[in-house]
Structure 1
Amino acid sequence: MQTIGNVGWKLVGVSYMDEVMVTSETLNRSLPKLLLALALIVIVLSSVVSRRISRPIRQLEMSMKSVERGDFDKLASSEGPLEVKHLADRFNMMIGTIKLLMKQIVSEQESKRKYELEALQAQINPHFLYNTLNTVVRMVGMNRNADVVTTITSLSKLFRISLSKGNAIISLEDELEHARNYLVIQNIRFKNKFTYSIEADEQVSSCSTLKLIVQPLIENAIVHGIEPSVDEGHISIKARLDGADVVIEVSDNGLGMTEERLNEVRAGNVKSAKGSGVGVMNVQERIRLYYGAEYGLSFESELEEGTTVSIRFPARRIEQEGRVADDE
């Protein structure tokens, strides 16, 4: 009941007890359903918002894992909340910077490898020309004109191949021709103390190779195997294909090595009292530097029987070598 002030009327509201009870019961029944509906709405909204935030973060995490595996091409997606977008953009900028730095490092390493190859190449037998010219002078004094002509001709061919227009890669045919001219000169110099033979499978002649990898091994065979021996020596050079690789074997029937010395050489200690072993180490380093650590030299030797040094590197044609160089 309520009194209306100005007119003095009484306003009376009447409610039946049964209706109040029915309304209360209906409200009690509806309230849990309403709360459940509100909870479902909250859960759905939370899930949507969570997915919108977490999905870009998961994508960013996947991009980071790809980078850990070495895949720098998968960039983070610039979606989601503003903070996540900024984080993804910064991550992508970081990846771009890393890729640029990696390209620079590869370029620098390639230049370094080229300079190292050139430096190693320059170390090959700087005394050889001096010794050969001395031999020529002595032969001129003894009127051995035919030997002088042969020596000078072989020397000119040898240096023509050595220069090879500044190319570090030549055909295996040219490399074996270079070895043949070297053997001619050394055979004259050592007064026919040894014979030699060169054999090559037809398939390997057009394969490419680093230049001047056979000649240091021939020199090593002469100095350490043939020259100290009292018997006439023989040097054999064979080139063949072995699967996807080229194998060149340089053998001599000289003094050979003891088992202990052979193990030292296989372990990389090729230095000796007579000669520094720079030539053999040079060949090993150049092959591994250019082709990879799985390639290089292997040694077999038996005392008083002789030594065989094998060179192994991948079989590539000259045109393939050009494409490889372009790719690098």
Structure 2
Amino acid sequence: MKKALSIKQIFSHANKLMLALAIVPLFISILLYSRQIFLYKNTVTNIQKANEIAAKVDEEVLEDMWDVVTGQTALNSYIGNSIVDELRADIHHIQENTSTNGERSILEVALRIIDSLENYQTKIFENLTQENSYEKNKEIMIQVESVTQLLSDILQEFVRIEINLASQKNNELAHSLVILSLAELGIVIVILYFVQRNRKFLDEKIQQPLDNVIVMSHELSKGHLGYRLELPDTPELSSLTESLNKMADDLTQLLEENVLKQYHLAQSEVRVLQAQITPHFVYNSLDAIVSLIEQKHYDEAKEMTFALSDFFRISLSKGKDWITVDTEIRHIKDYLIILKIRYGEMLSFEINVPEQLKDYEILKMILQPLIENAVYHGTKFIRRTGYIQVNVTETENDLIFTVSDNGIGMLPERLQKVQEELEKGIDSDFSTGYGLYNVNKRLLLYYGREAGIQVESQYRHGTVITVTVPKRQEDPPNV
């Protein structure tokens, strides 16, 4: 006959059971979340390292190789500290922290691109021992620049993969929390069955923090990345909550940095575009003003001075990204007046803008680069009088700007290449046709696919460029 257990033994067995029920799931949860946190930290580290490598690719590769090509860096010194070897070592270091085939595949592509860079580097070294090495290496550097851009794009693709993995780990963590919460709920029921007086303690110290973590995981899964929890007293749950808070902070920071990066990219593009107004344009304009004064053509000198002043005032626009159609038209009119005075009878222009369209807001400096292209790559190469026409029309939802010229135009193969580059959008190659591709990129960054550029051209007859942007009555807020 089985001996009856004493009250002390019953409580002892119950306590052991409760201890087992409490410790085993907790131990499993710690292992589970420690692994998840470790994988997440590896992912964040990979993102940071990939961004550092991308920065090195963008800022150092071309500069270092050009230094070798131009002789500013000694060949022996460069071979001992090659930027290509540094990039390969950095990629191998990231490979050690990868766990998926997608990560490994993209890094293998990056390594193959680095192999291509190394081959170009070897050709540069070989050319340096031959005559006319600079011209040969100059051609190689064009290929190096393309390969470098490709490597930078691959690294950004790797960053996107890592961010997706981080999001996936977050979802896995949320699912694990649901399972763990159910297990802990069962533990609470068993513990309440054996020890009623521990109900309040368990509710305050375990159940409520778990419920909060579940709510937080659901909020994060809905995209509410601003949701945060206060740290509970229980050390394990405090560590888990702290990790979730940090994970949400890291995701928020990464998203904000990506948005800020796109905005700064757009800002830098307009600053670079403003810089395209070369010193030669300023010098030639000032020389023309001086010449007009010397010839006592005071009215023309005054007109040109006012046009030049107004042109630069609108270019700056007190740092604003958006100006009215009327101001944008005044900007190109000032530019054309300056060129008209300089070229005399060799250039004429016409601008047609309906009054009802002048108050719409548009992105500034989208027409001046197109006018500049029309003059310097179009009408400048013909013997007849150059003619530039700018028309502004509208549809129900869009404004349409048309810049046409009677210049040299483009051959069919050149036109096709320009159209293909425009189709690439923000990935356009700026090595040629900078103004046109820059305007296209800025339109896409600010307006999205609602805006666009179309180019039509016929060799020896002229070119027509059409810019379409959505109507905006009010000044859109800057990012």
| Common fold: TM-score over 0.5 | yes
**Which residue of structure 1 lines up, in the alignment, with residue 298 of structure 2?**
145
Structure richer in helix, relative to its length:
2
**Which residue of structure 2 lines up, in the alignment, with residue 25 of structure 1?**
none
Per the TM alignment, residue 310 of structure 1 is displaced from its structure 2 partner at its CA by 1.6
User: Does the CA-based 8 Å contact 1:203-1:241 persist in structure 2?
Assistant: no
Residue 407 of structure 2 is aligned with which of 234, 251, 254? 254
Residue 441 of structure 2 is aligned to residue 288 of structure 1: no
**Which residue of structure 1 lines up, in the alignment, with residue 353 of structure 2?**
200
Distance 1:231 1:195 in 2: 11
Structure 1 residues without counterparts, runs of 5 or longer:
1-48
Per the TM alignment, residue 208 of structure 1 is displaced from its structure 2 partner at its CA by 1.9
What pairs with 1:181-220 in structure 2 (closer than 5 Å)?
A: 181-220=334-373
User: 1:191 is paired with a residue of what secondary structure?
Assistant: helix
User: Does the CA-based 8 Å contact 1:297-1:312 persist in structure 2?
Assistant: yes
Structure 2 residues without counterparts, runs of 5 or longer:
1-181, 188-206, 423-427
**Which residue of structure 2 lines up, in the alignment, with residue 221 of structure 1?**
374
Residue 155 of structure 1 is aligned with which of 289, 295, 308? 308
Distance 2:268 2:414 in 1: 32
Per the TM alignment, residue 297 of structure 1 is displaced from its structure 2 partner at its CA by 2.5
TM-score normalised to structure 2 length: 0.48
User: 2:302 is paired with a residue of what secondary structure?
Assistant: helix
Residue 314 of structure 1 is aligned with which of 467, 470, 475? 470
TM-score normalised to structure 1 length: 0.66
Distance 2:186 2:355 in 1: 67
Q: Residues 223-250 of structure 1: CA distance to partner in whole angstroms, max 9, x if unpaired? A: 2222222223321111223343322111
Per the TM alignment, residue 184 of structure 1 is displaced from its structure 2 partner at its CA by 1.5
Per the TM alignment, residue 316 of structure 1 is displaced from its structure 2 partner at its CA by 1.9
Amino acid at match of 1:246: L
Moved more, 83-92 or 188-197: 83-92
Distance 1:222 1:302 in 2: 16
Residue 321 of structure 2 is aligned with which of 168, 192, 207? 168
Q: Residues 209-233 of structure 1: CA distance to partner in whole angstroms, max 9, x if unpaired? A: 2322212211211222222222233
Q: Percent identity?
A: 32
Distance 1:284 1:126 in 2: 24
**Which residue of structure 1 lines up, in the alignment, with residue 173 of structure 2?**
none
Amino acid at match of 2:470: P
User: Does the CA-based 8 Å contact 1:124-1:216 persist in structure 2?
Assistant: no
**Which residue of structure 2 lines up, in the alignment, with residue 303 of structure 1?**
459
Distance 1:285 1:104 in 2: 20
Aligned residues: 273
Structure richer in strand, relative to its length:
1
Per the TM alignment, residue 82 of structure 1 is displaced from its structure 2 partner at its CA by 10
User: Does the CA-based 8 Å contact 1:125-1:279 persist in structure 2?
Assistant: no
Against the structure 1 CA distance between its residues 141 and 315, is the aligned structure 2 distance closer, same or farther, given a 3 Å change threshold?
Answer: same
Distance 1:51 1:235 in 2: 77
User: 2:475 is paired with a residue of what secondary structure?
Assistant: helix
User: RMSD of the TM alignment (CA)?
Assistant: 4.0
